[in-house]
Amino acid sequence: MPKIRAATVAEHRQLQQTALLDAARVLLAEGGREALSFGALAARTGLARSSVYEYFRSKSELVEALCTVDLPLWAAEIEAGMAVRDGAVERIEAYVRGQVSLATDPVHRAVVAVAEYELDDAARARIRAAHAGLTAMVVRTLEDLGHARPGVAASLLQGVVEAAVRQVERIRGEDGAPGAGAVEEIADTAVRFALDGLRPVDRPADNPVDSADGAGDGDGTDGAKAR
């Protein structure tokens, strides 16, 4: 009998914690970082404010729990979008578009934004590592395209994606919520940029990097003077 009661208590706590995370997502989606408070969570869930602290000792702990639950789900969503594509090029396109689309999701935006303010350095490092793990999804695809160093190419691709996401955020800051057309245009540009830049390059074995040693020092010279 004590074991049954303990299991019931554990299940109840899990349900309450899930309800608090759901309420946090709603608050973040509706009002952004400023809307997330324990008082608002208590009002949204019907709990006493003191009871909220039984589940999360601080806002940082709450945000880290959100990231722990949601980041893998977002990554799985992108991975699922890639899995239904047949060719390597189509999978890369799905990877880019999936992340740009997430940038328009109010909960994703809010969770990532609040994490930067509320989490300590160690927690932020874990969140960044989870985002960096997205690059692992395209390494195999880049191998299929013939890249000798697919890990490097994957990191560069992620840089293109993050630049596109920043553009979506910039438009949001200037004009409010960007229209679907603006987001689609940014995604299209990112896809074209990524695919053009990800074509493997065959270089002569005796000259792996064209003119790398004589590229100049940023003063307008091109290395010809050195020869």
Q: What is the pLDDT of residue 47?
A: 92
Q: What is the pLDDT of residue 82?
A: 92
Q: Which residues of the chain have pLDDT under 50?
A: 1, 203-227
Between CA 135 and CA 140 the distance in angstroms is 10
Between CA 20 and CA 44 the distance in angstroms is 8
CATH topology classification for 8-57: Arc Repressor Mutant, subunit A (1.10.10)
pTM higher than the cut 0.75: no
What Å distances lie between residue 11 and 5, 15, 41, 86, 173, CA to CA? 10, 6, 20, 42, 42
Tokens of 103: 């940038």
* Ranges of CATH 1.10.357 domains, the chain: 59-199
CATH topology classification for 59-199: Tetracycline Repressor; domain 2 (1.10.357)
Q: What is the pLDDT of residue 158?
A: 87
Q: What is the pLDDT of residue 210?
A: 41
Between CA 54 and CA 75 the distance in angstroms is 30
Q: What is the pLDDT of residue 28?
A: 85
